[in-house]
Amino acid sequence: MIDSHAHLQDREFKNDLDQVLARATGAGVEKIVCIGFDYLASRQAVELAQRHKNIFATVGIHPHDAKTLDEQTLESLYNLALKPGVVAIGEIGLDYYRNLSPLEQQKKAFVEQIKMAQELGKPVVIHDRDAHQDVLEIIKKERAGVNGGIMHCYSGHTPLALELIKEGFYISFAGPLTFKNAKKSHEVAQKIPLDRILVETDCPYLSPEPYRGKRNEPARVKLVAQKLAELRGLSLEEIARITSTNARNVLGMDA
């Protein structure tokens, strides 16, 4: 399996990262994508990718930190993105739930980073919380999926997912897929094409059942894959193979 979205640079892993990685390998996780969310976290993701052959990195500024994206930071991110092991620009997007950066600054940072990804020929990893319509409009207007993209921890409905797939995106599911009341996510997971589905942890956040509320880690992507297998009537092995192939395709990672 491939955990397509993890935050291994988070301080939650400061004391036991080696054990976390060993548990991931033991659970059958062959690759982990460490996601940047501000400049420091992006640099740390790249450093982890340089130290571990099974870790890949993305670089980007999360909508929470959109107000920090100036020309100098954008240039620094661009230079980081040129380093080996960097497979995408992200996580970028819009977050209207917390609104930690002003709306216009979120949109500006989103568009600027989409343009950077296009210049670099890389896919984008998108964070969308309570901003579905504006995210879709920007994706269409800017042709954000021209090099492929991932909708991380997807929370929208099925028609939107199918629209995003037409725009070149893959739909990624995390721990909430295992929650009993996640009927909307269950429906999306059952109805979208198998060749556009990914699994992720978003660790240390969003632990799946039965670990809800505890620190999440890459080994638990297996529980998301198991739920997906159940919803699609397939074996865990089939879902692991399909979602890993999808992750390699969108992120340009070798088998």
Q: Which domains does the chain have, with CATH numbers?
A: 2-251 (3.20.20.140)
Q: What is the pTM of this model?
A: 0.97
Residue type for 192, please?
Answer: I
What count of other Cβ atoms lies within 10 Å of the Cβ of residue 226? 18
- CB-CB contact of 88 with 216 (8 Å): no
pLDDT for res 59? 98
pLDDT for res 254? 82
- Residues with Cβ within 8 Å of residue 226, at least 6 apart in sequence: 236, 239
Residue among 52, 55, 36, 54 nearest 44 (CA): 36
Distance CA 64, CA 62 (A): 5
Distance CA 206, CA 14 (A): 19
pLDDT of the chain along its 255 residues, tens only?
Answer: 999 999 999 999 999 999 999 999 999 999 999 999 999 999 999 999 999 999 999 999 999 999 999 999 999 999 999 999 999 999 999 999 998 999 999 999 999 999 999 999 999 999 999 999 999 999 999 999 999 999 999 999 999 999 999 999 999 999 999 999 999 999 999 999 999 999 999 999 999 999 999 999 999 999 999 999 999 999 999 999 999 999 999 999 986
pLDDT for res 255? 66
Phi/psi at 119 (nearest 5 deg)?
Answer: -65, -35
Distance CA 4, CA 52 (A): 16
Side-by-side strand order, sheet with 2-6: 2-6, 31-34, 55-59, 86-95, 124-129, 149-151, 169-173, 197-199
What count of other Cβ atoms lies within 10 Å of the Cβ of residue 152? 25
